[in-house]
Structure 1
């Protein structure tokens, strides 16, 4: 039986587990963040739709520390993006899909926070986003389950653009580093 698709639009939100990658980074310190926004699902043919989204997506990385001077805690680098993925959605069966496609993101803000072991948080730096590449782009792929007007899914994105740029200390510190992100989400469509 061919999957029957209908046009829908709605809201979605969930959690990001992100990290940086390059040739020198090989840790698994995933930083949790949020993703939330709007989506539309536009059927093109039986079993295939185009799904544009407009999202807020918090990405970045974390590094743990344990030393005599600072004690125990972790430093989190937060990158706040407005993201536009445009995905091809292939319904394998009526309620299960795989989706993939490109995304482009605009970096709105950058900050670094110190999360201490007692649960307190201090902002170390509110960095100038102009010292970073404002645009990130990459590819996304994932799976989803549609239950009436509710969608559940998981998606992996990998950035293809370096986040740091030349000309400043903070930009140079992130030169060569790219984003990677695993997100889990719930969507409600109408």
Structure 2
């Protein structure tokens, strides 16, 4: 949490000087892992989640066609996996506080105020909590909490990239995140993988 606080503290003066815009972002995502957290489970299946939060769009050039966009997000990740030895299925939900930072190139028609977006960067994330529900024939059987710093590493990091379009103050984008950290505490190569769609609104004249 200290890392997130200090990073936002350092970015705030930059945003004020650069006439940046406050950004509200929300959307849906589909997440999985490169490997299940238990050897009793088959390969993970993707699971739906959501994300929402606030950030800043900070121009790096006088034209505003190149910006940097740090955003603090609540992100729901996880996966679904079947047990190898029986008919049970486990659904794991993982809640993270994410700080993605993207550099965005904006190309398009200034008169129509429509731009094509191409962006990429990295992210760091802090696990907040999670749970696993085991089901048999679709009926819940067992529910238990996922313990960060015991079952999972609390901190994650990775790379990301995507494309989008901007209409006036709205942005619609698609992105992919690939975790680089092994988040398992059980010496497995479990890395987060997330694909998502976001809609953002850029508030003008905030800073």
Q: What is the TM-score normalised by the length of structure 2?
A: 0.74
Q: Aligned residue for 1:58? A: 76
Q: Tell me, which stretches of 5 or more residues in structure 2 are unaligned?
A: 1-18, 110-114
Of 129, 135, 138 in structure 2, the residue corresponding to residue 109 of structure 1 is 129
Could you tell me whether the CA contact under 8 Å between 2:182 and 2:189 is conserved in 1?
A: yes
Q: Tell me, which stretches of 5 or more residues in structure 1 are unaligned?
A: 1-5, 166-171
Could you tell me whether the CA contact under 8 Å between 1:16 and 1:32 is conserved in 2?
A: yes
Distance 1:151 1:48 in 2: 15
Q: Aligned residue for 2:202? A: 189
Q: How far does residue 188 in structure 1 lie from its aligned partner after superposition?
A: 1.5
Query: Aligned residue pairs: how many?
Result: 174
Could you tell me whether the CA contact under 8 Å between 1:111 and 1:123 is conserved in 2?
A: no
Q: How far does residue 28 in structure 1 lie from its aligned partner after superposition?
A: 6.9
Residues 175, 49 of structure 1: alpha-carbon distance in 2 compared, 3 angstrom cutoff:
same
Q: How far does residue 54 in structure 1 lie from its aligned partner after superposition?
A: 0.3
Q: Write the mapping of 1:76-95 to structure 2, written as runs, cut at 5 A.
A: 76-94=91-109, 95=115
Could you tell me whether the CA contact under 8 Å between 1:138 and 1:161 is conserved in 2?
A: yes
Q: Aligned residue for 1:42? A: 58
Could you tell me whether the CA contact under 8 Å between 2:174 and 2:197 is conserved in 1?
A: yes
SS at match of 2:60: strand
SS at match of 2:101: strand
Of 14, 18, 24 in structure 1, the residue corresponding to residue 27 of structure 2 is 14
Q: How far does residue 127 in structure 1 lie from its aligned partner after superposition?
A: 2.2
Distance 1:104 1:83 in 2: 6
Q: Aligned residue for 2:164? A: 144
What is the root-mean-square deviation in Å for CA atoms of aligned residues? 2.8
Distance 1:97 1:62 in 2: 32
Could you tell me whether the CA contact under 8 Å between 1:19 and 1:180 is conserved in 2?
A: yes
Distance 2:142 2:86 in 1: 21
Could you tell me whether the CA contact under 8 Å between 2:44 and 2:80 is conserved in 1?
A: no
Residues 7, 121 of structure 1: alpha-carbon distance in 2 compared, 3 angstrom cutoff:
farther
Q: What is the TM-score normalised by the length of structure 1?
A: 0.80
Could you tell me whether the CA contact under 8 Å between 2:81 and 2:91 is conserved in 1?
A: yes
